[in-house]
């Protein structure tokens, strides 16, 4: 900004209250309104503001993709690969070398397929299934083949050090920061169709009851038969149930139709077993961003999960469980994916919330995953099902990586690891190294250094996962504000997701856009919060607003830089209009929204 010849920048981080002065000879070509990186050359004092110089100009504030650039720098995400790392990835070429094929089981004639989203580029996993037995002895042979990243990423190599630094791939709506260079992540490690790839495979025998009766791991050489999408597979499964003979002969799904039906059958068996053990089943739709031809956001679309999503999820969970069992059996240290039981204070808050829906958790014992599952199934057809699911998620701790196994509460499993995504998650690579150690004759007594002292590694991987989540949430929040910025005055249908002293947090239906209705936007009354019942009550009117209420609101203010969206009740706006009044300016009112709702504004990832 340039005010009366004084040039300054406003920090993106709102916790930094100082504006930074920029001398005219330190602008580095920056212009007013641009987003820049600044290095401080003088710290603030009681009588002077901080002084800095522009080290880099990122671009215009409203440029497409700026939300991602800001998130990358705000969260310190590595986004450029060093030359040595790129060279190390490219030295392998674009095809599997003869030496890498030795001593591997040949799966090239097996019609393994990948099933992913339409926009996926890195294919970690492929699946194949066939029916075995008949009658009461029916079962399935299921193979989950995972890209053998460990063959290319050696411990302590340049590639390994960079992968550790990143910890995970980061998926923004319009950009990906891969954990590995694209020569590997989208190239030699990606299980593309009709090309040879190295894999680590898990073969499982699954009973009609969904129990895995036998499993083994092996190093393999494969050739994916087809790259299928969730949409294609779901459509095929629905159509084949109605008219199995009606498949088009040139359909990719039809070419592997027999095994898709077998995969669907084994999924149903595995899912029944999941329900029986009491695992919590969250099935909320994913929010997708649609961009226009100019790179600017066009709209948000909720993408419901279908049986193809669930099919792959169950196959991956099965392989992850068997990987954990395998490593535990051979006493190989690893990074478990652990999900602890909910803390008591969170459970008490959840009990109070559920009471408003005439639902309760048991009070005479610690709740089990089955108790949570029963609640979600009970409210599945309820209009507030999405809200209840969100609050249940928020009541739980975050899942983390650690060598000390305490089980996975949400999945109701005694041991669990992440094995199926080594292209994009570093903990999976640790798991692969442990499995490879055993497959090549190693024991718990001769562990390599990379499988020792994993406590710090688990903490780092967990922190980097959270960093990636926070960065993508920030970018998405920017996009939501940008999308709403030209809709001031428009009305939306919302649901109340949080109740605080200063107002209501609401979410726009179908777009998962969150905003605040300040108490001044609820009407001419004084509202006080009844914390035990998660509601605001008008002292004069006795009007009640509570969690789960459906409200028609009017958009009154958007502040993109602060990721803030403000609403008021549509009926309040209508009353003012009828009275001939003019809407008040709420853009400068005090805002205490960082106080948060009783469950926090952001859900917990389990």
- Assess whether pLDDT exceeds 70 at residue 255: no
Check whether residue 405 and residue 327 sit in a common domain: yes
* pLDDT at residue 606, as a whole number: 41
pLDDT digits (tens, 9 = 90+) for 382-404: 888 888 898 899 899 999 999 99
Q: Helix 230-242 to helix 307-329 angle, to the nearest 10 degrees?
A: 110
Mean pLDDT, residues 241-259: 58
Residue 385 lies in a domain: no
pLDDT digits (tens, 9 = 90+) for 339-362: 999 999 999 889 888 888 888 898
Radius of gyration of the chain (CA): 27
Domain boundary among 478, 495, 511: 478
Q: Is the dihedral of CA 249, 255, 258, 260 positive or negative?
A: negative
Mean pLDDT, residues 478-502: 95
* pLDDT at residue 293, as a whole number: 86
Check whether residue 470 and residue 501 sit in a common domain: no
* pLDDT at residue 582, as a whole number: 45
CA 438 to chain centre: 32
Domain that includes residue 529, residue range: 485-581+589-595
Least confident of 9-23, 313-327, 484-498: 9-23
Check whether residue 414 and residue 466 sit in a common domain: yes
- Give backbone dihedrals phi and psi of 38, rounded to 5 degrees, phi first: -130, 140
Q: How far apart are CA 419 and CA 200, in angstroms?
A: 10
The tokens for 426 are 């570093």
Residue position matching structure tokens 């997701």: 497
Mean pLDDT, residues 45-69: 92
pLDDT digits (tens, 9 = 90+) for 552-598: 999 999 999 999 999 999 987 666 655 554 444 444 343 444 333 33
CB 339 within 8 Å of CB 410: yes
Coil, strand, or helix at residue 160?
A: helix
Q: How far apart are CA 430 and CA 438, in angstroms?
A: 13
Share of the chain above pLDDT 70, in %: 91
- Give backbone dihedrals phi and psi of 499, rounded to 5 degrees, phi first: -125, 120
Mean pLDDT, residues 203-211: 97
- Find the DSSP H helices in 280-396: 307-329, 344-355, 369-378, 385-394
Residue 443 lies in a domain: yes
Mean pLDDT, residues 206-221: 98
Check whether residue 457 and residue 500 sit in a common domain: no
Question: For 197, how many CA atoms within 13 A lie in the half-sphere containing its CB?
Answer: 33
pLDDT digits (tens, 9 = 90+) for 511-550: 999 999 999 999 889 999 988 778 899 999 999 999 889 9
Check whether residue 495 and residue 471 sit in a common domain: no
CATH classification at residue 573: 2.40.50.140
Check whether residue 35 and residue 141 sit in a common domain: no
Q: How many domains in the chain?
A: 3
Check whether residue 441 and residue 514 sit in a common domain: no
Residue 347 lies in a domain: no
pLDDT digits (tens, 9 = 90+) for 416-446: 999 999 999 999 999 999 999 999 999 999 9
* pLDDT at residue 245, as a whole number: 42
- Give backbone dihedrals phi and psi of 161, rounded to 5 degrees, phi first: -60, -40
Question: For 139, how many CA atoms within 13 A lie in the half-sphere containing its CB?
Answer: 14
Q: How far apart are CA 551 and CA 534, in angstroms?
A: 16
Domain boundary among 424, 449, 478: 478
Q: How far apart are CA 372 and CA 115, in angstroms?
A: 30
CATH classification at residue 12: 2.40.50.700
CB 131 within 8 Å of CB 142: no
Mean pLDDT, residues 398-418: 97
pLDDT digits (tens, 9 = 90+) for 230-247: 999 999 888 866 444 444
pLDDT digits (tens, 9 = 90+) for 177-200: 999 999 999 999 999 999 999 999
Residue 381 lies in a domain: no
| Of 309 and 293, more confident | 309
Check whether residue 277 and residue 193 sit in a common domain: yes
* pLDDT at residue 3, as a whole number: 61
Check whether residue 38 and residue 135 sit in a common domain: no
Angle at 498 between CA 493 and CA 499, to 5 degrees: 110
Check whether residue 292 and residue 254 sit in a common domain: yes
Confidence of residue 295 (pLDDT cuts 50, 70, 90): confident
Residues 6+ apart with CB under 8 A from 507: 494, 495, 497, 513, 514, 515
Residue 378 lies in a domain: no
Angle at 596 between CA 591 and CA 597, to 5 degrees: 125
Average per-residue pLDDT for the chain: 90
Check whether residue 159 and residue 275 sit in a common domain: yes
- Assess whether pLDDT exceeds 80 at residue 104: yes
CA 191 to chain centre: 22
Angle at 440 between CA 435 and CA 446, to 5 degrees: 80
Residue 12 lies in a domain: yes
Kindly state the helix (H) or strand (E) to which residue 180 belongs, with its residue range.
none
Domain boundary among 452, 478, 504: 478
Share of the chain above pLDDT 90, in %: 73
Check whether residue 15 and residue 164 sit in a common domain: no
CB 562 within 8 Å of CB 550: no
Residue 447 lies in a domain: yes
* pLDDT at residue 86, as a whole number: 98
Residue 8 lies in a domain: yes
């Amino acid at each position: 900004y340039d005010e009366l010849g004084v040039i300054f920048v406003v920090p993106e981080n709102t916790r930094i209250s100082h504006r930074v002065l920029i001398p005219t000879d330190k602008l580095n070509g920056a212009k007013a309104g641009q987003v820049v990186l600044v290095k401080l050359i003088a710290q603030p004092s009681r009588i002077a503001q901080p002084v800095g110089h522009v080290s880099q100009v990122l671009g215009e504030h409203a440029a497409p993709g700026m939300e991602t650039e800001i998130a990358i720098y705000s969260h310190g995400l590595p986004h450029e690969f060093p030359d040595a790392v790129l060279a190390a990835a490219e030295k392998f070429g674009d095809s599997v070398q003869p030496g890498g094929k030795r001593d591997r089981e040949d799966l090239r004639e097996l019609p393994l397929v990948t099933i992913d989203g339409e926009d996926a580029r890195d294919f970690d996993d492929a699946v194949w299934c066939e029916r075995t037995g008949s009658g009461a002895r029916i079962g399935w042979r299921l193979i989950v083949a995972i890209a053998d990243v460990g063959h290319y990423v050696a411990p302590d190599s340049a590639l390994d050090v960079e992968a550790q630094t990143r910890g995970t791939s980061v998926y923004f709506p319009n950009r990906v920061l891969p954990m590995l260079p694209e020569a590997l992540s989208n190239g030699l490690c990606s299980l593309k169709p009709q090309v040879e790839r190295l894999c680590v495979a898990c073969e499982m025998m699954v009973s009609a009851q969904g129990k895995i009766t036998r499993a083994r791991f092996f190093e393999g050489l494969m050739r994916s038969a087809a790259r299928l999408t969730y949409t294609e597979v779901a459509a095929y499964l629905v159509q084949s149930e109605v008219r199995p003979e009606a498949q088009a002969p040139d359909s990719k799904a039809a070419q592997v139709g027999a095994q898709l039906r077998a995969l669907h059958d084994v999924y149903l068996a595995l899912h029944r077993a999941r329900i029986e053990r009491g695992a919590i089943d969250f099935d909320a739709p994913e929010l997708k961003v649609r961009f226009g031809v100019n790179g600017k956001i066009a709209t948000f679309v909720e993408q419901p999960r279908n049986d193809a999503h669930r099919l792959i999820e169950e196959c991956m969970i099965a392989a992850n469980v068997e990987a954990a069992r395998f490593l535990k059996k051979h006493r190989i240290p690893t990074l478990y994916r652990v999900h602890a039981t909910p803390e008591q204070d969170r459970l008490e808050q959840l009990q109070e919330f559920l009471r408003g829906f005439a639902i309760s958790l048991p009070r005479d014992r610690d709740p089990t995953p089955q108790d949570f599952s029963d609640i979600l199934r009970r409210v599945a057809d309820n209009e507030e099902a999405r809200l209840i699911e969100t609050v249940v998620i928020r009541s739980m701790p975050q899942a983390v990586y650690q060598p000390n196994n305490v089980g996975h509460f949400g999945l109701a499993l005694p041991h669990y690891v992440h094995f199926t995504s080594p292209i994009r998650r570093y903990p999976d690579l640790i798991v692969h190294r442990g499995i490879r150690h055993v497959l090549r004759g190693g024991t718990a007594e001769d562990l390599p250094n990379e499988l020792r002292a994993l406590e710090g590694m688990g903490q780092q991987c967990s922190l980097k996962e959270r960093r990636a989540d926070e960065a993508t949430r920030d970018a998405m929040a920017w996009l939501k504000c940008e999308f709403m910025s030209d809709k001031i005055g428009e009305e939306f249908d919302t649901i109340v997701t949080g109740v605080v002293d200063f107002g209501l947090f609401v979410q726009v239906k179908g777009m998962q856009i969150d905003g605040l209705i300040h108490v001044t936007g609820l009407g001419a009354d004084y509202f006080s919060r009844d914390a035990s019942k998660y509601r605001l009550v008008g002292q004069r009117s006795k009007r009640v607003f509570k969690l789960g209420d459906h409200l028609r609101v009017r958009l009154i203010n958007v502040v993109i830089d602060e990721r803030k969206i403000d609403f008021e009740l549509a009926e309040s706006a209508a009353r003012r209009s009828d009275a001939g009044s003019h809407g008040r300016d709420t853009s400068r009112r005090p805002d205490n929204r960082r106080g948060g709702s009783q469950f926090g504004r952001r859900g917990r990832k389990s």
